[in-house]
A and B are shown apart, each in its own frame.
Chain A
Amino acid sequence: MRLPRGYGVLAARLTRWILMGQILRQAVIGLLCLWLHHAYADSVIGECAMRVQFTVGGGIAYLPGLAKPVVIDSDQLTKADVTELKRLVDAANFFALPSKINPPRPGAADYVQYTVTIEQGEQRHTVEWTDLAEEPNLQQLRIFLQAKAKAARAGEGRGDAPD
């Protein structure tokens, strides 16, 4: 079917504008992604994102407010904190640790129990340990997480996480 004179030109121009618009849109998105990737190259994009659940239990008393798990998302941390968190997790060789580390001897009581679950990409691992058996590398990770838990609770009100 032939279009009337003038309509063909209009159709050609419309097609060209649409194509140019799409190209422009793609270019803007591309530039935005490049900027994001540059800005957060070391941290939170895609499979590098890390989600940590930190629970402190046990101790001489059950304190419901302090026993609640604290979730720490890497996308809510500063770039420096994300770098430090990743370093601590790597130093502890966290994903290769057994799920329970040196359970306490019989008769022991009131020690604090730490439970940390980390999700990163396809990996998900939980490790439990106590005051009685804390590896130096896990100690550094625990101190970092406790500081973040304290900051999170400070947002809700006064206080600190139980050690």
Chain B
Amino acid sequence: MAFKKTLIASSLVLAGSLSSIASVQAQEFPLYGDDPLVDQQWHLKNTGQTAFSKSGGIAGNDLDIDFAHAMGIKGRGITVSVIDTGLETDHPDLSPNVVAGSINFLEGDIGYPVDNHGHGTAVGGLIAAEDNNKIGGRGVAPDANLIGFNYLFAQDDTNWLLSHGVSADWRALDRFTDPRVFNQSYGWTPNSPLKHNYSADPSLEMNDTVMQDVSLDSHWGRGATYVKSAGNSFQRYNTNLFGIRFQVLPRENNNYYDNNGLPFHNANVTHTNTNFWNLVISATDANGKVASYSSVGSNVFFAAPAGEFGSDSPAMVTTDLSGCDQGSNVLGNTRNGLHGGNELDPNCDYQGTMNGTSSAAPNTAGAIAVVMSANPGLSARTVRDLLVKTARKTDPDNSGVDLAFENADGDMVSYNAIPGWQTNAAGYHFHQYYGLGAVNVDGAVQKALFTSASLPKLQITDWQQTIANVAVPDASVVGVETKATTNDDVTIEAVQVKLNLDHQRIRDLSIELISPSGTRSVLMSARTGFLSLGGTGYEDSMLMSTHFYGESSKGEWTLKVVDTDKGDSATILWDYGTNIYRVNNYNNLELGVVKDWSIRFYGHK
């Protein structure tokens, strides 16, 4: 094996050109080493294996990582933080990579971040389970360092700071901690738009400040990356009303869970997902298509493998809490063929049912660690840029969703509610489901090896407000447009819009942003499962899009709002018991009004 690696490396050096690297990188390499479960880890190398479920995926739909691993580029020197339910740091497949820095918030001490659930341990294994050690599988970055925090069981502002990159000694001048990648496989789904207002929510301002500083200034100016799961609410989500937990689901055409093919949740609803510092990740299955549960939206940066449920089709094969009496893999659990004491894992230290955007995020976090390790001198933003430049157009034939509805005049009309793959004016592909594409580690590593300069300094333009006060016609595919011209000229990395819009049933609305180059991005898709009823609509609500990546910000921007429903389709609230309520089933009595909107750009000169 060592001979092969040397041969490959030598041939690359001798060839000495980007094209010859590309040629080698395009070849297929085995995942060298002795890890008994690695053959079932389809996210690393998808051969159509079943991952101990009843069916397999489609070969090739993976992270494209075999070349990097064959070259020995596996995350060495990069520390990844698992901010989660905890991390079983003495798990035999994790302990070799665990370094100092973990905190057990439950008992208030440095060291062992006890994981009473198993989610964080599964996440940690996806990132950096050790390779070639004759047990289990391996992580995306098996040479990376790991630390963990059981923040999800001890959430407060103090613990947020300590787990998100700030050191404990608050009097110290240098507050930044070691991780260059922070994985956040958590979130929530608000049932109505949130206000993005620092005065009302100083905690939000503190968090944004920390994330900006760590992202740009830590590690001697090279920065770090926060990776965030988009959410698991494509079909339904949970909400709490007066202390009672409900499932919220659509009901169209007399069918539950029918939302005319449209996502029920948009990742832009969750305000931490509209933060530029969070790299928001959607989930794909083993066929390369959007996972059945994955939240999607214009703020999604990339898509990454996560799988389905591990019973009928593949989920993730990763670390589990040790032993057959805890975690997901326990005796008697036969949901997945690995569970219950498989000969490849007789001690039940691994599982085959991990999924969710909780898996897509750590697979991306590991990918970033690998690319960073290929060229540690690059800034975190540059690594992100290289991943954009190399992202793969997964599910390439996905044509989006056309929504048919009866307009105000009684005619049936069709509205392109979710566009298929588009190409923006800078040549980047994007899709509401997949952001700028599927993560392609080998492509990004190849570019990182031959990139000597980081992106220019990040520019954040001032908010530019447009007073609109225009009515939104009910049930009209024409909609209403309001325009703003900006003289700021930056090469866009992301665009944020802050919106004030009155409407009594905002789930009817689709909100689009159209760039000076004509690129159309759906910021909020129609029929999103908001519960507003007689509410005020959007009030200082933040929406973000990555779809204009690489375009110029200068010129005329158009915000378009389309009302897609005059009927009585409904949203359902179910209390997981015997109570089912119908809401949102009356059309708005008054026309909606776009009051004002503001726009700002993140990018570089």
Check if A and B associate.
Answer: no
